[in-house]
Amino acid sequence: MNESAFLDVKDLKIHFSTDDGVVKSVDGLSFSLERGKTLGIVGESGSGKSVTSLGILGLHRGKNAHVSGEIWLDGEDLVTASQEHVRRLRGRKMAMIFQDPLSSMHPFYTVGDQIIEAYRIHHKVSKSVARKHAIDMLGRVGIPEPKSRVDSYPHEFSGGMRQRAMIAMALSCDPELLIADEPTTALDVTVQAQILDLMRDLQREFNSALIIITHDLGVVAELSDDILVMYAGKCIEYGSAEDIFYRPEHPYTWGLLGSMPRLDREPTERLLPVKGTPPSLINVPSGCAFHPRCPYSDLTDGQSKAEVPALAPTDPGHLVRCHLSRTQRRTLWENEVKPVLETQ
């Protein structure tokens, strides 16, 4: 991948030792991201998408977490950097929007205080200047009457307003990398639409690199330039939004697309779910982790049970981790999968 990319993650591994064995939450993940671009990371719960985001922010330094690989942010390797250094970058250079704003904001402090605190850690300014900045940020994210709302406590805000305040906090130091972990999952659909619009506008304005982590393919399609599909700690397909939605090549991606009832197409009689359940990350199935659930694993002559497939390019910028040959995948997609999905 590109050497000079703004964010460059190479072979990232995050393993946790537990009493039951080693949990390989992230197992050899590589991707890169430019300023002003959005990467969507999709996967089911337990696929390692949230662990990846916490890993980039350096929030996995617990005794049982083993982080290896490289995370290059603007020319610096965050894996080998000191904790102190990463702490200085966190907030200023990279920031995070968490899923549940109610539990990620301190209930005893006003929303304003929490934004001011974050701002003053990174900028040597007086309280009143920081307060003005906080009011300004709250206004930018669309909170009405920011001058009075700055002194409200988190519980006085509605879910959508809390998420806006959370975004204001994350953006207060003008970070170049913004990670949003399920930013709209806890919200109602009309509020979700508002927040997605807001994030798109702010990203354009700040020209930051955005990673959006979600299980909702609709949300990903709204925002992302590139999409990374994760399964059992590994990237199984990577490509542009068009590649993933119009020319997906991995059977798991097909499964995700088939599982989802869609409003923009006529309803089918039945959904086409992926059979079985996601694997445990302690006992990841041998070979291709997806083989027990894959309807096409028989076509590989037992290879899928024996070896882990490599993440190989099928087109420029479109990578797939699958034992099926490129021709097999394309024929299956064109003749078997796409016709069924399209009738939806």
Partner 1 sequence: MTTTNEPLLSVQGLEKHFPVTKGLFKRQVGAVKAVDGISFDVFKGETLGLVGESGCGKSTTGRLVTRLLEPTAGKVVFEGRDITHMRQGKLRPLRRDMQMIFQDPFSSLNPRHTVGTIVGAPYRIQGVQTENGIKRAVQDILELVGLNPEHYNRYPHEFSGGQRQRIGIARTLALKPKLIIADEPVSALDVSIQAQVVNLLEDLQNELDLTYVVIAHDLSVVRHISDRVAVMYLGKIVEIADRKSLYRVPMHPYTNALLSAVPIPDPKARAKSDRIRLTGDVPSPLNPPPACRFHTRCWKAQDICKTVEPPLEELASGHQVACHFPENAPEAATKTAATTP
Q: How far is CA 62 from CA 16, 45, 83, 86, 234, in A?
A: 9, 22, 12, 15, 22
Distance CA 146, CA 189 (A): 24
Name residue, tokens 């409200």: 152
Nearest to 181, CA basis, from 216, 137, 232: 216
The only residue of 192, 300, 304, 314 in contact with partner 1, by rule CB under 8 A: 192
User: Is 207 exposed, middle or buried (CB count within 10 Å of its CB: 0-12, 13-18, 19+)?
Assistant: exposed
CA angle centred on 296, ends 292 and 299, rounded to 5°: 110
DSSP output for 58-85: T---STTEEEEEEEEETTEETTTS-HHH
Of 165-173, 183-191, 305-313, 317-325, which part binds partner 1 (CB under 8 A)?
183-191
Shortest reach from residue 246's CB to partner 1, in Å: 8
The only residue of 19, 62, 80, 189 in contact with partner 1, by rule CB under 8 A: 189
The only residue of 69, 91, 101, 160 in contact with partner 1, by rule CB under 8 A: 160
Shortest reach from residue 160's CB to partner 1, in Å: 5
Report the residue number, 56 or 105, with the smaller CB distance to partner 1.
105
Mark residues 240-279: x for contact with partner 1 by CB under 8 A, - for none.
-xx--x---------xxxxxxxxxxxxxx-xxxxxx-xx-
The only residue of 2, 148, 190, 283 in contact with partner 1, by rule CB under 8 A: 190
Other Cβ atoms less than 10 A from the Cβ of 108: the count is 8
Q: What amino acid is encoded at 163 in this protein?
A: Q
Shortest reach from residue 245's CB to partner 1, in Å: 6
Shortest reach from residue 144's CB to partner 1, in Å: 8
The only residue of 36, 139, 218, 285 in contact with partner 1, by rule CB under 8 A: 218
Under rule CB under 8 A, residue 197 binds partner 1: yes
Report the residue number, 235 or 257, with the smaller CB distance to partner 1.
257
Shortest reach from residue 263's CB to partner 1, in Å: 5
Shortest reach from residue 158's CB to partner 1, in Å: 5
β-strands 226-231, 209-214: how paired?
unpaired
Report the residue number, 215 or 305, with the smaller CB distance to partner 1.
215
Q: What amino acid is encoded at 159 in this protein?
A: G
Nearest to 57, CA basis, from 30, 28, 91, 82: 91
Query: Which residue ranges make up the site for partner 1 (CB under 8 A)?
Result: 44-45, 158-161, 188-194, 196-197, 215-222, 224, 241-242, 245, 255-268, 270-275, 277-278
